[in-house]
Amino acid sequence: MDYVEKVKNATNFVRSKIDHMPKVAVVLGSGLDVIKEAVDVSQKIEYKDIPNFPISTAPGHAGEMLFGRWNETEVVLMNGRFHYYEGYSMKEVTMPIRLFQLLGVEYLFITNAAGGINHAFVPGHPMIITDHINFMGDNPLIGKNVEEWGTRFPDMSAAYNPELISFAEESAKELGIEYYKGVYIAFSGPNFETPAELKMAQYFGADAVGMSTVPEVIVANHGALKVLGISSITDRAIPNDLKPLTAEEVIEVARKTGEKTAKIFERVLDKLKERL
């Protein structure tokens, strides 16, 4: 079975299980489980039950799609994402985004835990992503283009929707949440970066570094979904002052930061309400 057929089968399965088609999908990165509690979940679909779907293995990541209402809006939460470093192909990593596109989702809210490269960044604050650098050495769009899904050479001049960025900023201000804005660079991982790599990323103009999000955002743009991305800054990834880092530390800070991100998203949903 080819990829297009696999995605269509998976989508048909999901469609047959749900009563309401959401226009908003939320990808829960590390520590963002808090969003689950805010959502009135009506339908839970485990990845292992979806035909042709990958299963996530990373620590702190579950493997289920949750459908329900959040702030009076129908949403689908992707609880557990697929990382390139787990050994999945870029097509597998981004299969959920294609599925969302085929379901009719129009807005993608995406989150991650990231190291702060910008000297001014203090861990524990959200960073609204304004742009990204694909430094993963691969791209989910490589291969024959599927014309019905998007164009061969998709525009990425505003990969993170400017209107959603301003809604997120307004929301953070209204809520009194301190936030940053910046460029996210994705490495493949799974190791954290060396000081020399981080120095390079600084020269490149990145503000935060992580191991996800970029493949999903590329596919979302190809599929004409509007993207809002927020990183949880969990640690200082400063080349000349680098402390040893563990995934456990990252997840702990990501939980606290995720609560702020969840509030911002909820307020952005308010601002989008009449369109959803």
Q: Which of 96, 126, 140, 210 binds ligand HPA (CB under 6 A)?
A: 210
Number of residues in contact with ligand HPA, rule: CB under 6 A? 12
Q: Name residues contacting ligand HPA, limited to 75-114 (CB under 6 A).
A: 113-114
Element (H, E) at 189: none
The token pair that represents 6 in the structure block? 């696999």
Q: How far is the CB of 192 from ligand HPA (least distance, A)?
A: 5
* Closer residue to ligand HPA (CB): 140 or 210: 210
Work out which of 88, 180, 184, 192 binds ligand HPA, going by CB under 6 A: 192
Stretch that binds ligand HPA, among 20-28, 34-42, 89-97, 204-212 (CB under 6 A): 204-212
Between the alpha carbon of residue 184 and those of residues 53, 181, 197, the distances in Å are 27, 10, 14
Scored b (16 or more CB within 10 A) or e, 117-133 reads: bbeebebbbbbbbbbbb
CB 65, CB 25: distance < 8 Å: no
Q: Which two tokens stand for residue 158?
A: 């505003």
| Min dist. Cβ of residue 114 to ligand HPA (A) | 5
CA distance 215 to 236: 24
- Segment near ligand HPA (CB under 6 A); pick from 66-74, 80-88, 142-150, 206-214: 206-214
By CB under 6 A, is residue 228 in contact with ligand HPA? Answer: no
Nearest to 67 by CA among 55, 78, 56, 81: 78
User: Would you tell me which residues interact with ligand HPA (CB under 6 A)?
Assistant: 113-115, 192-193, 209-211, 234-235, 237, 250
